[in-house]
Chain A
Amino acid sequence: MDASQRLEHPQFAAALEIPQRWEVDLSGIGDGLVIVGDDRPWSMGFVPTVVFTQAPLGQEHSTDPAAVLDSQRIVESTLAEQLRDLRPLHLDVDTFGFLGEQQVHGVMRVASYTTAEAVPVMMHQWVARCVGVELSMTVTYPTVDMPTWSEGGWSLANTLEWTGVS
């Protein structure tokens, strides 16, 4: 196994182990944005990224995965307008990390699309509501590299720890 680093920050509601060589950009954490990327391009010059978005939950937001799924179904229709050649492949309830020993349930989306630079990519996205925030994690990599990356993304989603914002 490659050397790893721990991605964590007092304002970031989760923590996880990522490969040592990955580059971390926490400059957007004030706006709930954390961007992690490999330090080298994969196929077609595309640098795989893992992007986290985090937003505080209001009173009206249920943490029930079914409610998250409903809201993501609405997102699904707007994604098609934003992403070229979008082909949704999966949208269903799934687990997204742990809170202590407990698995957290949210939603997983998988889709194929083409970037503005004409690179066919895969998007694996997990969204869940826990510890007072809605957190999403989106892993994007060139489709041709799917044999390597789809398990890597899955592994990140299943080792993430929900820590809460301190």
Chain B
Amino acid sequence: MEQHSPKEQRSIARLGAEQLDQLAAALGWLEPVTVPELRDLDGQLLVSDGRPAPEYDRLMRSFSEQRAVILVQRVDSQGRERNTTIRLSPHGMLWQEPQDDGSVLLRGAAGGTLYPVLIDWMGLGPRPAPAHGVVPAEVPKDLMVRAVDFSQGPDGPAAARHQAAAAVRGQSPQIADDLEAGQADVVVLAAEWDDGAGGAQARLMGVDTPAGMLVHSAERRFLGEKHLLEPAPAWVVWHMTVASLPGGEDIARWGQHA
């Protein structure tokens, strides 16, 4: 059984970027430093005497005893991002919700909440299913990376999206039209976790349009790799997501070593 402080546990804290760094330091990440006291933007005491305040014990433990980190990024055709970082621990999960004012909401919940939170941040929902038996389209290796790289301005990502549209027009003209019209978000999921054998990583990339989704994959070849984009129902993208994340055995093992 999990051991919790008898104090009622708070599951939400609102922090500025600087406080987030201080919190990480207080919890022994980064360079451990003594943070005698830390309050969130609403004045709630998170750390006192260099230790998590009793009400935040579980939330802080999800931070300090994390076993998995999952990054979810959703980028539209204008470069607007919707990102979160989810941390899983034997004590539950914690995720960060960036706010419009630059602050970050830290939210905690039981581990099972991972799935609805992931679905929401990936933006998955019913989409038209693709035709059966569609052959994947081959795309350049860096296409998906270019589609979300707005660091040199909007031209690069726009060109990448046009290239993607041209590549998949034969598979799904509707999705190609949405890509051309800027009605397409790129969804990226990247995860790292303790698999009991030196650590595991997973990455999944897709495109979400009102006409349907595309999923990216890399096929190993004798010489190098082949990069593919293919239409897939949203639930198949979800299946691939769940299959690429820590499984029941990982989660059970984290609990044993808590």
Contact = CB atoms under 8 A, between A and B. Distances in A.
Interface in A61-98: 85, 87-92, 94
Contacts of B126: 88-92
Interface residues of B, number: 24
Contacts, number: 70
B241 to A, nearest CB: 9
A145 interface: yes
B115 A143 contact: yes
A144 to B, nearest CB: 5
A118 B248 contact: no
B251 interface: yes
A15 interface: no
Nearest to A124: B235
A117 B129 CA distance: 32
B61 to A, nearest CB: 19
Given A143-B242, A144-B248, A146-B242, A89 B112 contact: no
A100 interface: no
Contacts of B129: 90, 92, 94
A120 B125 contact: no
Contacts of B238: 89, 110, 112, 146
B124 interface: yes
B114 interface: yes
Interface in B119-133: 119-120, 124-129
Interface of A: 42-44, 85, 87-92, 94, 110, 112, 114, 118-120, 142-147, 150
| 6 residue pairs, one from A and one from B, having the closest CB atoms | A110-B235, A90-B235, A147-B243, A89-B235, A43-B248, A146-B242
